[in-house]
Chain A
Amino acid sequence: MKLRILIISAGVLLAACGKSSNDKPAPTGPASTLISDLQADTGASVGEPEEGKEQRPFYSLTFSFTTQRSRLIKSKADSIQYLKNTDWDIAFTQEYNSYVVVNNGAFTGTPGAGGPGKGAMVIVEKPYDQVTEAPSDETFENNGVHGVGWDSGNGYGWFFYSLSNHICVPVKNRTFVLRTASGKYAKLALLNIYKGNPPVVTDLFWPAPYLTFKYFVQTDGSRRLNTSN
């Protein structure tokens, strides 16, 4: 216990040092948008029975970068009415709404399948603020993914998930460069799935899924993605 406290205070000290010696120029550009605690489908539980939850598959949650409108897709009628258009850019799907996919009509098995969406995604191993330009079309074509979820260790996900404690740990310094549903370039950082964006979660029953993420859409059609924050 004492040892642990010592380690924590050492960590705090180090972090403090880092801050004071940081003389890099501040990044410049337009501001990003931070979405905190976007409530996804908190009514579903497909595992052990839980109070206030139904045992059924999770509803998908769509989100528009432009209008910030989110929508739970609960039924076939919802799917028909709300999915086959470019009014949304990403969807949070499957278990705990943790598989995040783009809106692309050609991506079978994703909510946008069969619609007009042109979304695409590329995983970039850089912190969000260091991603200043979208990669080439060729990169999207060759290295693109439909979405990101669990990272089994192969680098193709946004969170690690240990089956021993069933807790999602977001991968740090990994950014997702996107084409939105209408073909604009954007960058996205997926930050947390737990309510309140806690840095560390040890409680399996911490309220989830509440999504915290940050993004920026380049509206002028260029590939520039530098932002001030």
Chain B
Amino acid sequence: MNTKLLGLLAIALLAACSKDDAPPGPEEPGGSAGNPVKTGTYRVVNLVADTNATSAGDAVSLYYSLEENRVVPASQRQTGNWDIVFYGIYNSSVYPNNGNAVGSPGFGGPGKAEIAVIVDRKFDVAYYDTTHFKPTQLPIPAALWSEAYNKVTTVPAGLRFVTRDIGLDHFLGGFDGWGYYDFYGSLFPGNPQKAHVVYTMPRVLIVKTHKGRYAKLIMESIYKDSPANPDRTHKPGYITFRYSIQMDGSTNLNIP
């Protein structure tokens, strides 16, 4: 059992390495010493969360340390060694590692991380119906990701951090999220390959890490190799995201 788990994690780690990544630190069972990254921008590509993921249930949780740019074993879920977890259906709920995060793996633990999503309705209208909360065009132009990301140069004043998850946008709930879940394929009537598809949106998340450092993060895809226009033929469970972390403790996110 343990070896199987370790094997999976090893695969996940390997998948996490992308060209422009800093090399991930060695696996440290205790994790406390750590191997922090430098202030900078990192892109995590095809991170394997759960390749058997379907819409039929929760995927295997995936714990990530932004400060060390690495996957953290599930056995350390009740430690401060990770900052965010990809949890739930299609790993779509991004929870901070926070002991108060009800319903999350970090609940009751020592975690102090928090999370927020920046919602800029003036920007959103470029791709999104701000009254009915759904994309107005698919695929959403890729250029909007860079635009949204580069606009965030600091932690916005008054941004409301939460300990709950940031996940699917207004999916039978009232919360802004990073992805639109087209449950019934209603954006593409009559095409069954388009039901149960998650479309990432150009929304920037701000994470306050467990150790109190700020990072901005943008989800790019939950499908293998980030297809521009995903459907049911694409494999979910491969998370691609970009993040920039400020290690000096300031709110400055103007990070190349």
Selected contact of B172 from candidates A99, A108, A109, A153, CB within 8 Å: A99
Interface bits A99-135 vs B (CB < 8 Å: 1, else 0): 1010000011110010000000000000000000000
A109 contacts which chain B residues (CB < 8 A)?
Answer: 131-133, 170
Mostly helix, strand, loop or mixed at chain B's interface? loop
Check if B55 sits within 8 Å of A163, measured CB to CB.
yes
Q: Which of A68-115 contact B (CB under 8 A)?
A: 94-95, 98-99, 101, 107-110, 113
Q: Which of B154-196 contact A (CB under 8 A)?
A: 164-165, 167-168, 170-175, 183-184, 186, 189, 195-196
Selected contact of B175 from candidates A57, A94, A156, A161, CB within 8 Å: A156
Q: Which of A142-165 contact B (CB under 8 A)?
A: 145-150, 152-157, 161-164
| Closest chain A CB from B206 CB (angstroms) | 18
Check if A95 sits within 8 Å of B184, measured CB to CB.
yes
Mostly helix, strand, loop or mixed at chain A's interface? loop
B24 contacts which chain A residues (CB < 8 A)?
Answer: none
Is B81's CB within 8 Å of the partner chain A? no
Is B137's CB within 8 Å of the partner chain A? no
A34 contacts which chain B residues (CB < 8 A)?
Answer: none
Interface size classification for chain B: 20 to 34
The verdict on A156 contacting B172 (CB below 8 Å), with A95-B183, A163-B57 known, is no
In the bound assembly, the distance between CA atoms of A33 and B168 in angstroms comes to: 34
In the bound assembly, the distance between CA atoms of A99 and B132 in angstroms comes to: 14
The verdict on A152 contacting B89 (CB below 8 Å), with A109-B131, A163-B55 known, is yes
Selected contact of A149 from candidates B56, B102, B164, B172, CB within 8 Å: B172
Check if B57 sits within 8 Å of A147, measured CB to CB.
no
Is B109's CB within 8 Å of the partner chain A? no
Check if A108 sits within 8 Å of B103, measured CB to CB.
no
Check if B89 sits within 8 Å of A154, measured CB to CB.
no
A99 contacts which chain B residues (CB < 8 A)?
Answer: 172-173
Check if A156 sits within 8 Å of B186, measured CB to CB.
no
Interface residues of B (CB under 8 A from A): 55-58, 87-89, 93, 95, 101-104, 130-133, 164-165, 167-168, 170-175, 183-184, 186, 189, 195-196
> Mind listing 15 A-B residue pairs with CB under 8 Å?
A95-B183, A95-B184, A108-B131, A109-B170, A113-B131, A147-B174, A149-B172, A152-B165, A152-B167, A154-B104, A155-B102, A155-B103, A155-B164, A156-B175, A161-B172
Q: Give me the 7 closest cross-chain CB pairs, A-B, nearest first.
A: A149-B172, A150-B172, A146-B174, A153-B103, A46-B184, A164-B56, A155-B102
| Sample of 13 more A-B contacts, CB < 8 Å, known A46-B186, A164-B56 | A47-B195, A94-B172, A95-B183, A95-B184, A98-B172, A148-B173, A150-B172, A152-B103, A153-B88, A153-B93, A157-B172, A162-B57, A163-B196
